[in-house]
Amino acid sequence: MKPFTFKRAAASDDAVRAVAARPGAMFLAGGTTLVDLMKVDVLTPDTVVGVGHLGMSTIDETDDAMVIGATVTNSQLAWHPVVRDRYPVLAEAILSGATTQLRNMATVAGNILQRTRCSYFRDVHASCNRRQPGSGCDAIEGFNRGHAVLGVSEHCIATHPSDMCVAMVVLDAAVHTMRADGTTRSIPFDELHQAPGDTPHIEVALEHGELITHIVIPHLPAARRSHYLKVRDRASYEFALASAAVVLDLEGDTIRSARLGLGGIATRPWRAIEAEHILTGRTASDDTFRDAAEIALAGAVGREHNHFKIELAKRTIVRAFASVRDVSL
Amino acid sequence: MREATTDRASQTGVRTTLRVNNTTHELSTDSRLTLLDALRDVLGLTGTKKGCDQGACGACTVIVDGQRVLSCLTLVAACEGQHVVTIEGLATGDELHPIQAAFLHCDAFQCGYCTPGQILSAVCAVQEVHAGLPSHVTPDVRQTVNASTLTDEEIRERMSGNLCRCAAYPNIVAAVRQVLVSSGARSAKEDGHEALHV
């Protein structure tokens, strides 16, 4: 690990100023991404500013939303009674990821800002445009079984690894931040993460030093009929090969509205808006869900080892929707 | 902003006060030091094991402020004011913690390297079950789980953060089940306080 100065911020604005003042400074919350990547020299901050103790760790309910502090842990959120009751897709997504030890450490903001698990990104001796702009991408012609098929570019096909974010994007979460000049803003979840395009090293629409303070999830009664289905190589403690976060609002057999998020197959938490639109007003049959799955994966680009994910994702979508259709509330 | 440095000449030095097994320590360390290395190399508590050192195996599991975490991915500088329980702090004098006794009774280990992490993880897993908290394999996250009817699949999922290269898994599951059944009558809160001495 490269040497760094550790600072304990006195307050959120103090932390923001400390990181904004130094190009090489980074925030530290749960540490499950940062400490891990510092050990392998992928991240080499010269200053680390701890924010885990700043009190951004409560979950509050307002009349029309749930407000989640940035350093609420993944466990805290998944096990919260309101989340389990009203947003099962979110509780299920979080519980399907990592292990209890990691979920106890990892914060919600840290989960949102976690880095890809692409093995070439993690290996400083490999070519990776995300880690070192312009160096190339060893994954495109390499071992890319776990890589993305949606939102890819010729410069990067790294998968966004989060389960939680896939639920957040279908729930229309908003990410609230504080900037160095003291201003705050709210960023729609679907606009936070950037597809790689020509600039895979730019992963999120945040300025240097901008701190996530909380996440707001609007009330969504339909989310009581929601589900996160994750398909992976092992039964536990493994990233998704394909996953689907679904919300289904039914009137009898007819779909009033539907939401679909995809994980394990995309470069960013993926919202399949067009697929959602064609579901509206149709009968909630497996054939209908298959039509939506075809649309959701229409733009998919498979590589040598990950082509199977395209069909796998379609079947995951159908199964996820079918299971929420069939559940009795 | 408080510069957490102890020495102007050493910008990477940091002072941290934390409690380990009910003893308060004031440490002056390099900022890069992990909690795992602090426990083993600075405090001499070598019961906590270094397996992968990258957050994958669970051998370094300790309990911080009542939650099981990985000490290899925790900077000791980030533990200011926190309470750490290691395997050395689990027994009460010569009286083993029920999980320790169950591991012995069920022969839940072979080489023993993963065992401290397994035991600390199991202590928390049992508390989580008594609190009714669901896991990934719980059929409905709205439901609370019941210790006496918990499936082996549930125990395996809850213990999946601790790898055992000797594959002592069946006996580890048996040990966790034994404690779940025997402690079923106690409330999670009581159990937590007894277990963690907090």
Q: Does A102 touch chain B (CB under 8 A)?
A: yes
d(CA B22, CA B17): 12
Using alpha carbons, select from B56, B10, B58 the residue that is nearest to residue B33.
B10
Summarize pLDDT for B63-99 with one digit per residue, the tens: 999 999 999 999 999 999 999 999 999 999 999 999 9
Contact pairs from chain A to chain B, CB under 8 Å: 119
**For residue A68, how many C-alpha atoms fall within 13 Å in the half-sphere facing its CB?**
29
Report residue A220: phi and psi, to 5°.
-145, 90
**Residue A298 CA to its chain's centroid (Å):** 22
Residues in A closer than 8 angstroms to B141, CB to CB, are 78, 84, 88, 91-92, 95
Residues in A closer than 8 angstroms to B54, CB to CB, are 36, 39-40
Q: Answer yes or no: is A230 within a domain.
A: yes
- A65 pairs with which residues across the strands? A218
CB contact under 8 A, A100 and B141: no
d(CA A67, CA A64): 10
Give the domains, in start order, of chain B with CATH numbers. 13-89 (3.10.20.30), 98-196 (1.10.150.120)
> Residue A125: CB partners within 8 Å, gap ≥ 6?
none
Q: Does A100 touch chain B (CB under 8 A)?
A: yes
Instruction: Choose, out of A101, A119, A122, the residue to mutate when testing the contact with B (most B CBs < 10 Å).
Output: A101
**Residue B59 to chain A, least CA–CA distance (Å):** 11
How is residue A196 written in tokens? 């790689």
> Residue A221: CB partners within 8 Å, gap ≥ 6?
none
Sign of CA dihedral B8, B11, B12, B14: positive
Summarize pLDDT for B140-154 with one digit per residue, the tens: 999 999 999 999 999
CB contact under 8 A, B134 and A235: no
d(CA A20, CA A27): 10
Instruction: Choose, out of B14, B69, B137, the residue to mutate when testing the contact with A (most A CBs < 10 Å).
Output: B69
Q: Answer yes or no: is A141 within a domain.
A: no
**Residue A209 to chain B, least CA–CA distance (Å):** 15
Q: Answer yes or no: is A261 within a domain.
A: yes
| Chain B residues contacting A via beta carbons under 8 Å | 1-5, 11-12, 14, 30-32, 34, 53-55, 58, 61, 67-70, 73-75, 77-78, 80-81, 121, 124-125, 128, 133-136, 140-142, 156-158, 160-161
Q: Looking at the 3D structure of chain A, how many domains does it have?
A: 2
d(CA A188, CA A157): 24
Using alpha carbons, select from A276, A260, A274, A147 the residue that is nearest to residue A200.
A147
Q: Which residue of B has its CA nearest to A17?
A: B1
Tokens 């990985």 locate to: B70
CB contact under 8 A, B161 and A101: yes
Closest residue to B161, CB basis, from A10, A78, A102? A102
**Residue B95 to chain A, least CA–CA distance (Å):** 26
Q: Answer yes or no: is A24 within a domain.
A: yes
Residues in B closer than 8 angstroms to A35, CB to CB, are 34, 73-75
CB contact under 8 A, A28 and B1: no
Q: What ipTM describes this predicted complex?
A: 0.97
CB contact under 8 A, A5 and B3: yes
Q: Answer yes or no: is A229 within a domain.
A: yes
Is the pTM higher than 0.80? The answer reads yes
Residues in A closer than 8 angstroms to B53, CB to CB, are 39
Domain holding A266: CATH number?
3.30.390.50
SS3 state of residue B48: coil
Q: In what order do the strands lie in the sheet containing A270-271?
A: A226-231, A242-251, A254-263, A270-271
Q: What is the pLDDT of residue B191?
A: 43
Give the confidence band of B50 by pLDDT, cuts at 50, 70, 90: very high
- Strands A254-263 and A270-271 turn out to be antiparallel
Residues in A closer than 8 angstroms to B2, CB to CB, are 7-8, 10
Q: DSSP character for A114?
A: P
SS3 state of residue A256: strand
**Residue A178 CA to its chain's centroid (Å):** 20
Relative orientation angle of helices B115-130 and B98-106, to the nearest 10 degrees: 120
Distances (CA, A) of A189 to A72, A91, A176, A186, A204: 17, 17, 10, 9, 10
Q: What is the pLDDT of residue B1?
A: 54
**Residue A104 to chain B, least CA–CA distance (Å):** 6
**Residue B23 CA to its chain's centroid (Å):** 17
- A193 pairs with which residues across the strands? A204
Q: What is the pLDDT of residue B195?
A: 42
Range of the domain at A301: 225-326
Q: What is the pLDDT of residue B194?
A: 43
Q: What is the pLDDT of residue B10?
A: 61
How is residue B89 written in tokens? 């702090």
Q: Does A88 touch chain B (CB under 8 A)?
A: yes
d(CA A286, CA A289): 5
Q: pLDDT (tens digit, 0 to 9) for every residue of chain A, 329 residues total?
A: 999 999 999 999 999 999 999 999 999 999 999 999 999 999 999 999 999 999 999 999 999 999 999 999 999 999 999 999 999 999 999 999 999 999 999 999 999 999 999 999 999 999 999 999 999 999 999 999 999 999 999 999 999 999 999 999 999 999 999 999 999 999 999 999 999 999 999 999 999 999 999 999 999 999 999 999 999 999 999 999 999 999 999 999 999 999 999 999 999 999 999 999 999 999 999 999 999 999 999 999 999 999 999 999 999 999 999 999 998 87
d(CA B168, CA B111): 9
CB contact under 8 A, B68 and A92: no
Residue at B4: amino acid letter: A
Q: Answer yes or no: is A157 within a domain.
A: no
Check if the beta carbon of residue B158 is closer than 8 Å to that of residue B135.
Answer: yes
Q: What angle do CA A86, A91, A92 make, to 5 degrees?
A: 115
Long-range contacts of B132-140 (CB under 8 A, 24+ apart): B132/B188, B133/A79, B134/A79, B134/A84, B134/A91, B134/A95, B135/A95, B136/A92, B136/A95, B136/A96, B136/A236, B140/A88
Q: Answer yes or no: is A19 within a domain.
A: yes
d(CA A27, CA A32): 12
CB contact under 8 A, B32 and A85: no
Using alpha carbons, select from A246, A313, A257 the residue that is nearest to residue A282.
A257
SS3 state of residue A260: strand
* SS3 annotation, A6-51: EEECCCHHHHHHHHHCCCCEEEECCCCCHHHHHHCCCCCCCEEEEC
Q: Answer yes or no: is A81 within a domain.
A: no
Q: What is the pLDDT of residue B183?
A: 82
Q: What is the pLDDT of residue A206?
A: 98
